[in-house]
Structure 1
Amino acid sequence: MKRRLLLSGTAASLCTPRMVFAQSGRTDAPLTIVFPYGAGGAVDGIIRTLAEYMSGALKRPVIVDNKPGANSIIGAEYVARARPDGNTLLWAAWPTLTTNLALYPSIRFSHSNFAPITSTIQGYTGLSVANQVPAHNFKELVDHVKKNGNQLAYGSLGKGGSPHLMMELGSIVSGVKFDLVPYKSDVQGIGDLLGGHLTAYAGPIANQAPHHQAKTLRIIAISSENRLPDLPDVPTFKEAGFPELVVSYWHGVVAPAGMSRNLITEFNQVIAAGMQQPSVKGKLALDQRVMTSSPESFKSLIESDTKKWGDLIRSRGIKLE
């Protein structure tokens, strides 16, 4: 009897770590981070560098899986259907869980399908004008346009992106009608601005900065709270009297809904540490900064931006479907 009890106790002690391991949700299987855009871009490089750090910290393989299509909807739907077993995460860009819900009414997921882990990056938008435009800040541009028909055509990527929505908000707060001329790429749009075929362009600051520094165009406003260290001569919208245009886009990581709190906490801590690594921070554009958060804060950010920009999209009648 004593031998049987001893063997039973030994078996229990051997199983205990495995049981605790299972209850925590921890696994040694490969972790896949789904990025719902194509490979090779700047953000893709950031994610892959972060994945290398995470692999070492978690002691498990971390794979980046690009699933582009439908403005990030395909990749998001894939993760929404995934098991919450700690093996699949979604790197969500700003539209993925916010504006897409208003722009695509037939979308087949909602916030309830995901468990927020942390935000990762915050970025800002810039507005440039051709050198012949007599404006050095947004207020001067508004005044100039109001004296010349109160309507201005500007270039940007297609409908529904953060630059387009920022300019729609700009129309509301300034009283000027800004008309979008959609482009397929920032390179093409900025090229037309440089070539004299366009008066203004709204988009990522990093793509405009080299031309501003070369004085071939002029960035007259950026959407950050304060001026950027790399562009100290560029004013903000807020400085010009338009605090409503302090806006940003962001990236973050979410899991399929139902993931254990232990796993969410572990991923939050590892990603936050990884985003502070010099190898990761060194890949950020000059208009981006690391912005990590608690799962609760990230959830609040997702919900508040979904309401703010969803209301704007509906009020302005912006549709993609």
Structure 2
Amino acid sequence: MDLYLPIAEMSVNALVIVALGLGVGFLSGMFGVGGGFLTTPLLIFYGIPPAIAVASSATQVTGASVSGALNHYRAGGVDVKMGLVMVGGGLVGAAAGSLLFQRLQTIGQVDVVIGLTYVALLGTIGLLMLKESLAALRRLRSGAPAPRPTRRHHPLVAVLPWRMRFPRSGLYISPLAPFLIGALVGVLTVIMGVGGGFILVPAMLYLLGMAAATVVGTSLFQIVFVTAVTTLLHAVQSQTVDIVLAALLLVGGVVGAQLGARMAQRLAPERLRLALALLVLAVALRLLVGLTLTPSDLYSIETALA
């Protein structure tokens, strides 16, 4: 069933897009991560222009994160004070990222920058995850005990001024650290169309030293607000949000997340992390190939509107 996307100005098979959202939602539910970093590359592979894939993915991430954030809030798993500081940083980062996105569109380099950013970020994260998952599997086979987790913020965070207490997370640190982390994620949200949970969660655990019970909920709290503002910025400034595309992705993503969560209960977490690492590396490799191979059509003709 073909459906016309008004912003992308192309027809797509609606069932394929829903199936893509279903697959990403399944992986998100199974691995416990947001699917934005997979949705955008897969849309690009399908033929959606990168700028529209980024903006529409951010829209889908907003809708998909609301229910998760509400569930964690009801369970007491959200540090609202910490979340508001990170939201403040995220809004500043989103505004800066939007200006950068517009500039890249003006000079015609937005597609290349999106691709290179994904290759660098996914490649790095994939390699780190692969290293950690292989080490966990080796410990599992040898019967060695897992290292005890530590909760201590990074020394660079400890030297920052103007400390304040975050009772829900059990921290006494400078708000500058979570603000800067939020700002970085805000920029990446605009440029890449991701929620940023795959950066926020490790940063809150290993840089800020937050309690694990509040990390995921606080991350989702920040993601909801920053991706909503990012969607608004893309819609008003770059006009690249295709709501039809986002709605199709959201329909599949909601169902897929439930199925993935059930599947995750049947598999060992070490093997899940290994599978996710290989998937992330495969996506990064595919993007790298697309950026380096000579296209079959070297030239295209575009009509500029007066």
TM-score by length of 2: 0.25
Query: Which has more radius of gyration?
Result: 1
Higher relative contact order (CA 8 A, sep 6+): 2
Give 1 or 2: higher helix fraction: 2
